[in-house]
Structures are given as structure tokens and as C-alpha cells.
Amino acid sequence: MTYEAGSYDVIVVGAGHAGVEAGLASARLGAKTLMITINLDMVAFMPCNPSVGGPAKGIVVREIDALGGEMGKNIDKTHIQMRMLNTGKGPAVRALRAQADKFTYQHEMKKALENEPNLTLIQGMVERLMVENGECKGVMTQTGAVYSSKTVVITTGTFLRGEIILGELKYSSGPNNQQPSIKLSEHLQELGFELVRFKTGTPPRVNSHSIDYSKTEIQPGDDVPRAFSYETTKYITDQLPCWLTYTNEETHTLIDNNLHRSPMYSGMIKGTGPRYCPSIEDKVVRFNDKPRHQIFLEPEGRNTQEVYVQGLSTSLPEDVQQKILRTIPGLENVQMMRAGYAIEYDAIVPTQLWPTLETKNVKNLYTAGQINGTSGYEEAAGQGLMAGMNAGLKSIGKEEVILSRSDAYIGVLIDDLITKGTNEPYRLLTSRAEYRLLLRHDNADLRLTELGYKVGLIREERYEKFLVKKQAIEEEKNRLQGIIIKPASEVQALIKSQGGSELKDGIRASDLLKRPEMTYEHIQKLIPAEGTLDPDVTEQVEIQIKYEGYIEKSLQQVERLKKMENKKIPENIDYDAINGLASEAKQKLKEVRPLSIAQASRISGVNPADISILLVYLEQGRIAKISAE
């Protein structure tokens, strides 16, 4: 039996990290949105690390915030500690990381969904999509409810035909013993989607009471209050520490001796796991010359004794896990509360998506998050935001948005996925971005607020504040560029005290700031600004002036890229009709269907000659049209 259950602009399937951003974005920009998820108690659940941010990922959280997303605000409200990473390095690679109270994180996120006026949140298991003539018109659940909509976003994470593997045990399940999503996976295949099998894993959790912390090193949060969101004004000061300990020879021998019981090595696991999250058995085998590996003990929240054992992801049998834990200093008497496990699941091959995250196969259908072959909460959230935004925009007849590689890490992430595909769960790394000096933690708002405002995800008040900040930065930069600092004695003294060489002549304040030993604060002492400037403003002034040369270089590269980006390839291009394209290139181009020459040139297997030929062909098309007119 089926029944008509209602009609919406947008339906979001799943309420994980991708789903919540998708639902909120779509609702906030004015589309009537329905969210359906398997279990309402598991909204924004963290099946692995109770942690948000880190290098690259932390910058994604800032970008999400600049585009009006929720992740940053939510973690600001619910973290147990926060740290700024890479403070000793350049501004391009600084990033925030927070340890989450994973339970309050879920509760606060659920609250945000429930309080969103345009959003309806319900429990249900989606089994089919309503597809007519290649267009998605809604979804159907296990109970026969049919919801219709203009667009649909699927964000089902690791649930598609999920299978948990723990030692010799293997069973059908979603993460953390939730109900898996089997029918939907089969249905996607019926619709013609190509699926791949990926794998990931998680470490055991242990009881804090049974840990001897005196044998470990403390890892406190920063003393300075930190926040991801540009809107956060209330800071959490009461932080919990994490703890560091190490594996040892005994641990490794134990693992070696039990490898035959590991599903990784017995061939039971077939899915491709990520190289950057190897299990402890992997680490011991591949790097067997290492005498020890780091183990971080991370509290899962303020109201729980469960501690996450970072560094010990494993799918070895439960009894072996127990023994491994007890070889580690501080964990000699530890009580394991949950065993670690691996999970295998289906993901769709992401080259089947347009850059908007709409599928090529089925119109008005979008996918986001781990279903697209990524891994990680932030990667999921970033895609969720973009897919929700675009599904929402499309449903109300507005133009969709594509972030480029020079706009945001989110742009890099999506472009990599849809252009190159991935043969392992994809994780963002700073090295994936070619313009990372432009894609900084500190300037996410300068990069994206304008866009967020334009699509209706940034409210007026915040936008006004943003404009004020932007103007203050420009004014202060102009001021420093306009003032000449003379080689007066107090100036020379200050420079000398910083180990610099004395001035021979007057120098522009901005040029003096470019010297490696000088900071904005020094300059400020010599030529104080009127009134006090916000630290956010002076940080921008300092970075923008100090690294001007490098920033300029990156911008020039971006300019060149833009030219190629502007050479659009029509969607209906017939690659078979183009003489001279190498057959591998032809096949790849047909698969990816790039929208611009720049995108085409990033496809592996498409070489410069193919690009030249493509350019000539496009030009030919243009001329043909002109002569036909």
C-alpha cells in the first residue's frame, strides 16, 4: 500500500552531516523542505572521531559558516576543547580543531533543524525515488508514504548496503549498529548508477574510570578563546584535556601474531579503505620498523565516561582488541566499552555528477556526503551545503552555484570528485588545493560572504557587519601605504630590537611591515591608528600586506585559469564526432562531460593535444553557427 504523504520543494534523505546542512540551506533560502532520516535520535551523529576541523577540514567549516551553514555555530556551542593548529607556520595553513561533546552536538543540531521555520523533520526509511522520464519527482518510504518534490538530495552516508566487520564476524548494518539501507542501494543501481564498494573503520572506546592518566601526557586546549563561526560571541572557557600515549613492541608483536584473524588480511574485506586512515594492523605491517605509534585518548563528551582511542582503528576480533589495549601505558587495566570495527558500504562513482552535485543520470536528483565517495564530517557538510543550496535554488527557479578551485576548499573537493573521481574514500588535504594561500582560514568570510548573501543564506545584519569589516581593512591598508616612516631614532631602535637592519631612508609603513621581523603591532606603535581596530581587521591587514607578492602570484595563476574556465563546453557536445581526439581522452570526456576547457584539462588521460583539438572544435562550432545565421 502506498499513500500520498505531502508535497515539498525539496526533500533531503538523511540527517547526517551532509543532510543537516542540505536541509537547512534549502529551507533558509526559501524552499519548503522535508528531511527524512532513519532514526531521529541519531541526527548529526559522529560514528568516528568526536572531533571537528583540523587542517583543510577546519577551513571548510569556516567556509560553511561564511555561506550561512550550521556546522561552525554548532561546534562552537558544543565543544570540550579547541585548538588553533599550525600557529608556527604561515597563515595559509592555520586551522582550528575542536573536540566535540558528541551528544550535545547531536542535540543542538537537532534543535536547529526543529526550529527552522521552513523545514519539516521526520523519521522514515526511503526505499525508492519517484523517477519519471529521467526526472526525480519525489521519494517513497518503507511504509509506503510517497512524498513529492521538485528536487531531492540523497545524503545516506555509509548506510548503503552497509556491512560491519569485527574479527570473524560480519553482518549487515549501518554505522554503530543502525539499520542499513539496502533497498535504496539496489534501486540506485536499477536507475543506472555505477556503485563502488568502500571501507572505513573505527577504534574501540574505553571507560575513562579505568585509565591511569598518570602514565600519559596531557593535551590541553588553547588558553585563548576560539570559535569557528563569524557569528559566535559566547565562548566556552571550561575545556577538557585529551591525553597522549603510545603503542610499543609488545603491542606490535600481539598484532603480528593475530594477523591471521584479521579480516583485512584473511580477504574477508573487499572494499577499498582510505590510506590516510589505516587500521593499526595496517600501520604495524606497512611500517614495521617503527617502534611505536601515537595513541590519543579523547573524551566523547562531558556526560559520559566513554573515551575514543584515536590511532587504534581496527577490525581485529574483540578479544584481540582487549589485549592490544592493555599493552598500552595507562591502559593496563582498561575496560573496553565498545569494540572497534570496519564497515563496508556502497558509494556512487562521483564522476556521475555535475559540478552542482546534481546527477547526470536523473534530473533534479542531487547527492552529497559519504555517498559520493568522501570521508569525514566536514567533507560531508560542505557538499551537503552546496547540494542543498542548489537543490533549493533550482526548486524555486533560481540559478545554481558552483564554487571554483580558487574560491574555496569546498570547490576543490567537489571539482576533484566530479572530475577525477576517487578510488578510495576521499579526504581533503591542504596539498589538494593549488591556491592554498588564497584559501585561508582567516579570509573565508572575505571569500564567500558576498555569495552567501546573494543566495539568501546570510542575513542582512551579518552582511552589514561584514561590509564594515571589509571597509576597515581597506582603509587601514591604504593608511599604511600612504605613510612614510622616517629613520628617526625610536624607529631605528625598534627595528634593531627586532634584529632587523636600520633604515637608510624613509620607507612606506606597508613596506616596513613586509620585513620578516616586523609585525603589525610594531608598525602600530610607530604610527598608531585612530581608535582601536578589531583584531580580525588587523590580522587581514598584516597578512595581505606581508604576503602581497605571493598572493599576487597566486592571483595571476587564477586569472589564467579563469580564461580557460570561461571557455564553456556545451552539454550536448558529441565527442565521437571530433576527429583526432585520442580514444582514451574521448572515453574520459564522455564519462565526465566537463563544462569548461579548464575542467577538461584536469581529467587524467586527457592530454594537452586533446585540449587543443577540443578548442579548435569549439571554435569551429562557433564559426559554423555564425555562418549559418
Ligand X SMILES: Cc1cc2nc3c(=O)[nH]c(=O)nc-3n(C[C@H](O)[C@H](O)[C@H](O)COP(=O)(O)OP(=O)(O)OC[C@H]3O[C@@H](n4cnc5c(N)ncnc54)[C@H](O)[C@@H]3O)c2cc1C
Interacting residues with ligand X (CB under 6 A): 13-19, 36-39, 42, 47-48, 125-126, 155-159, 175, 181, 184, 200-202, 277, 343, 369-370, 375-377, 380, 427
Per partner kind, with CB cut-offs from 5 to 8 A, the member of ligand X, other proteins, none near residue 156 is ligand X
DSSP 8-class letter at 7: E
For other proteins, the closer CB: 30 or 90: 90
Which amino acid appears at position 443 of this protein? N
563 binds other proteins (CB under 8 A): yes
H helix or E strand, kind and range, residue 33: strand 33-37
| Residue 8 dihedral angles phi and psi, to the nearest 5° | -135, 170
Number of residues that bind other proteins (CB under 8 A): 62
Site string for other proteins, 499-528 (x = CB under 8 A): -----------------xx-----------
Site string for other proteins, 22-61 (x = CB under 8 A): --------------------------xx-----xx-----
Buried b (16+ CB within 10 A) or exposed e, 209-226: ebbeeeebeeeebeeeeb
DSSP 8-class letter at 452: H
For ligand X, the closer CB: 14 or 271: 14
For other proteins, the closer CB: 111 or 553: 553
Per partner kind, with CB cut-offs from 5 to 8 A, the member of other proteins, ligand X, none near residue 579 is other proteins
DSSP 8-class letter at 404: -
For ligand X, the closer CB: 375 or 524: 375
CB 95 within 8 A of CB 85: yes
For ligand X, the closer CB: 14 or 72: 14
> 180-209: which residues touch other proteins (CB under 8 A)?
203
619 Cβ contact partners less than 8 Å away, ≥ 6 residues apart: none
CB of 74 to other proteins, least distance (A): 22
For ligand X, the closer CB: 21 or 476: 21
86 binds other proteins (CB under 8 A): yes
333 binds other proteins (CB under 8 A): no
Per partner kind, with CB cut-offs from 5 to 8 A, the member of ligand X, other proteins, none near residue 276 is other proteins
Residue 468, helix vs strand vs coil = helix
d(CA 68, CA 457): 5
556 binds other proteins (CB under 8 A): no
For other proteins, the closer CB: 185 or 374: 374
Name the grid cell of 162: 552497509
Alpha helices in 327-371 (DSSP H): none
Site string for other proteins, 243-282 (x = CB under 8 A): -------------------------------xxxxx----
Phi-psi region of 35 (alpha: psi -120 to 50; beta: other; left: phi over 0): beta
Per partner kind, with CB cut-offs from 5 to 8 A, the member of ligand X, other proteins, none near residue 251 is none
CB 386 within 8 A of CB 414: yes
Per partner kind, with CB cut-offs from 5 to 8 A, the member of ligand X, other proteins, none near residue 466 is none
The rounded Cα 386 to chain-centroid distance in angstroms is 11
539 binds other proteins (CB under 8 A): no
Name the grid cell of 529: 591608528
> 10 Å Cβ neighbour count for 466?
19
> 10 Å Cβ neighbour count for 501?
10
CB of 380 to ligand X, least distance (A): 3
Site string for other proteins, 293-322 (x = CB under 8 A): xx-x-------------xx-x---------
Residue 547, helix vs strand vs coil = coil
On the CB side of 72, how many CA atoms lie within 13 Å of its CA? 28
CB of 423 to other proteins, least distance (A): 10
Name the grid cell of 467: 561590509
- Segment interacting with other proteins, rule: CB under 8 A, options 157-165, 342-350, 428-436, 479-487: 428-436
d(CA 465, CA 459): 10
Per partner kind, with CB cut-offs from 5 to 8 A, the member of other proteins, ligand X, none near residue 13 is ligand X
Q: Is 101 exposed, middle or buried (0-12, 13-18, 19+ CB in 10 A)?
A: buried
Integer-rounded Cα radius of gyration of the chain? 26
- Smallest CA-to-CA distance from 198 within 161, 227, 166 is with 161
Name the grid cell of 23: 536541509
Name the grid cell of 71: 556546522
Site string for other proteins, 464-503 (x = CB under 8 A): ----------------------------------------
Per partner kind, with CB cut-offs from 5 to 8 A, the member of other proteins, ligand X, none near residue 275 is other proteins
CB of 91 to ligand X, least distance (A): 25
CB 139 within 8 A of CB 128: yes
| Residue 195 dihedral angles phi and psi, to the nearest 5° | -110, 150
Binding site for other proteins (CB under 8 A): 48-49, 55-56, 85-86, 89-93, 203, 219, 274-278, 283, 286-287, 290, 293-294, 296, 310-311, 313, 429-432, 434, 436-437, 516-517, 547, 550, 553-554, 560, 563-564, 578-580, 582, 604, 607-609, 612-613, 615-617, 619-620, 623-624, 627
